[in-house]
Amino acid sequence: MYSEKVYKNHVKGDECMFKKYQGKKMLIILIVGLFLFVAGCTNSEGVAKESSKFPDGPIKVIVSYSAGGSSDLGARLLMQYVEKELGVPVVVENKPGAGGWVGWEQLLNSKPDGNTIALINTPNLMTGYLDPTTGRDESLESFELIANHITDPGVIAVNKDDDRFNSVEDVIEYAKENSVTTTSTGALGDDHIASLKLNKNLGTKFNAVHNGGAGESVIAVLGGHVDVLFANVGDVTTLYNDKELKVLGVMSNERSTLLPDVPTLAEEGYDGVFSSSSRGYAAPKGVDEEVLKVLRDAFEKAIANEEQIKKVQETGLQVDYQNSEEYLEFLKEEENGIKEINDLLGW
């Protein structure tokens, strides 16, 4: 048996060893805890960094028109190249209706994370919120613009067998004295607004006959049911080359490279009347600037791709890249042009 002194010394030694053990244990716990904390922070930072990477999944592109139309085909063609630039799938989703606003309202109601964007067309975009009967509160400020892709200038054309008209002057001067029917792909579309601008600026008497699309417009003129075709370069290039239509004038600042022999209205002495349908892309308001930069850079490179440009031209359309700032200025000019004919629109 231990003596009392030995026992006390032994207990005292055990207590010292226990304290040392407890100290080491606490040190180990602290070290392990610190390691886990640092690892956790590093991991969370890594996750945050990864989650903030854009794009990290498919991009949806809303096309507010039916599949197979020129807007849809142009978008699908371009998205092949945007997809390569972004490195993720880019999926086109058609949402036709309300002159484009079924799709655009879906865009504006989507989460502003850059994963949903849309094709926007003029002038339907602006007429859809400028028209007071729609009750919409949206404006250009509701969108984050990415880039313009295509600008399709307006044209004035007639049946190849119509002997009354062989120049823009023939059409304009005749329409000042007589009521002349013109085609339109829908109320407040670019064709309709072009005829109203001419009526306001030149005193013509164009009366738009609304139909369901450019195809119907062409058939109406070729069949002799409507006097004058108001359409776009992309709608008439093939027919012009095949001598099925007489394209008399282009409503743009410069001649179209697809119709180099056709003069502009300004060249014919009718300055100040421009018409086009532009097709660009936008995201909803509120998308982070870094995300927007990724999208804008990808679209710029895709639109500049020579193969893409060639394929677009083969469809009868003309690439017209405008960055977000240039595109905004263009849309503001288009908006002002619509406001100038508010009285003719009954607004």
Same domain, 160 and 305: no
Average pLDDT, consecutive stretches of 10 residues, N- to C-terminus, the chain (347 residues): 43 46 48 44 39 86 88 94 98 92 97 98 94 95 98 96 97 98 90 93 96 88 97 92 96 93 95 90 98 98 98 91 98 92 87
Residue 288: the pLDDT is: 97
Same domain, 245 and 292: no
Residue 229: the pLDDT is: 97
243: left (phi over 0), alpha (psi -120 to 50) or beta: left
Same domain, 131 and 161: no
Within-domain flag for 163: yes
Same domain, 148 and 160: no
Same domain, 89 and 75: yes
Q: What global pTM score does this model have?
A: 0.76
Q: How far apart are CA 283 and CA 281, in angstroms?
A: 7
Residue 224: the pLDDT is: 96
* 232: CATH: 3.40.190.10
Residue 23: the pLDDT is: 53
Same domain, 178 and 243: yes
Secondary structure E strands in the chain: 59-63, 90-94, 116-121, 143-159, 180-184, 206-210, 229-232, 245-251, 276-284, 319-323
Same domain, 316 and 333: yes
Same domain, 88 and 142: yes
Within-domain flag for 263: no
Tally the domains of the chain. 2
DSSP string, 168-207: HHHHHHHHHHS-EEEEESSTTSHHHHHHHHHHHHH---EE
Same domain, 287 and 147: yes
Residue 113: the pLDDT is: 97
**Domain span including residue 106:** 59-152+276-345
Which of 234, 251, 268 marks a domain boundary? 251
Same domain, 281 and 148: yes
Partner residues linked to 316 by β-bridges = none
Reading the block at residue 166, the tokens are 């062989």
Residue 26: the pLDDT is: 52
Cβ 192 vs Cβ 99: under 8 Å: no
Within-domain flag for 22: no
Evaluate the omega torsion of the peptide bond into residue 153 and state whether it is cis, within 30 degrees of 0.
no
Within-domain flag for 28: no
Within-domain flag for 160: yes
Same domain, 137 and 160: no
Same domain, 158 and 243: yes
